[in-house]
């Protein structure tokens, strides 16, 4: 094997295709206590935190330069569970640069990508193994795991300069919730939505 000559080595990271995790890097971890107020049934959330402050999701920030020529990427793992009748979900966010999209490629599990834009449109796309969901520009996005047993594992990629606006969703919420009714996931109005 010849010795490569390079000034800018490619970043190579080994992810486990089943767990979604890499032993090479730490994840950013979001336990229920960090997002209890986001669930409709805040009392159920607080009670669950008292019993066990469960890990709701974790994901990678690979430290890609924040330029429009770069692509930020990583995996995101949302663990199964419910808070009251509401399925485990990520915090969700807009991009600071609203006119940026994002691709999510599902490696494992079942659930939805919930999306809404500032104009009031909303939509949800189903996740299943091999399903690619392209979130259009201007849409806030949140992953939701509707499986009772399996992690929802996705590989994501977005423009390096997109940035994150978590604050808008934190203060206002999403317009819709994903809850279990008769054993099935359905989307309902968010009673706490503060538009």
Nearer to its own copies, 81 or 101 (CB): 101
Closest distance of CB 49 from its own copies, Å = 29
From 30-38, 67-75, 78-86, 142-150, span contacting its own copies (CB under 8 A):
67-75
Please count the CA atoms within 13 angstroms of the CA of 117 that sit on its side-chain side: 13
Q: Which of residues 96-115 bind Mn ion (CB under 5 A)?
A: 102
Q: Does 23 bind its own copies (CB under 8 A)?
A: no
Angle at 56 between CA 52 and CA 89, to 5 degrees: 135
Distance from C-alpha of 15 to C-alpha of 89, rounded to nearest angstrom: 22
Opening angle at CA 75, ends 172 and 123, nearest 5: 40
Residue 116 sits in the site that holds Mn ion (CB under 5 A): no
Secondary structure of residue 47 in the 3-state scheme: helix
Report DSSP state, residue 194. -
Greatest distance between any 2 Cα atoms in the chain = 63
C-alpha closest to that of 152 among 160, 144, 163: 144
To its own copies, the closest distance from the beta carbon of 118 in angstroms equals 12
Task: Give, as ranges, the residues between 116 and 175 that touch its own copies (CB under 8 A).
Answer: 117, 119-126, 128-139, 155, 157-162
Per-residue binder mask for Mn ion (CB under 5 A), 150-189, x = binder: ----------------------------------------
Structure tokens at 152: 């929802």
Both tokens of 106, joined, read 């599902």
CB of residue 135 to Mn ion, shortest distance in Å? 7
Q: In the complex, which residues of this chain contact its own copies (CB under 8 A)? A: 1-2, 4-17, 62, 64, 67-71, 73, 97, 99-103, 105, 107, 113, 115, 117, 119-126, 128-139, 155, 157-162, 176, 186-189
Q: In the complex, which residues of this chain contact Mn ion (CB under 5 A)? A: 102
């Amino acid at each position: 094997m010849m010795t490569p000559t390079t000034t800018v080595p490619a970043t190579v990271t080994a992810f486990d295709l089943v767990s979604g995790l890499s032993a090479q890097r730490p994840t950013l971890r979001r336990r229920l206590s960090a997002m209890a107020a986001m669930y409709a049934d805040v009392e159920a959330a607080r009670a669950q935190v008292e019993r066990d402050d469960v890990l709701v999701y974790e994901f990678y920030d690979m430290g890609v330069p924040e330029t429009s020529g770069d692509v930020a990427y990583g995996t995101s793992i949302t663990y199964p569970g419910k808070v009251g009748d509401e399925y485990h979900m990520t915090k969700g966010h807009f991009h600071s640069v609203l006119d940026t999209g994002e691709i999510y490629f599902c490696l494992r599990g079942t659930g939805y990508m919930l999306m809404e834009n500032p104009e009031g449109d909303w939509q949800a796309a189903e996740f299943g193994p091999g399903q690619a969901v392209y979130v259009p520009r201007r849409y806030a996005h949140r992953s939701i795991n509707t499986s009772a047993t399996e992690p929802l594992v996705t590989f994501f990629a977005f423009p390096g300069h997109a940035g994150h606006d978590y604050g808008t969703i934190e203060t206002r919420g999403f317009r819709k919730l994903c809850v279990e009714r008769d054993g099935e996931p359905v989307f309902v109005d968010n009673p706490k939505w503060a538009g």
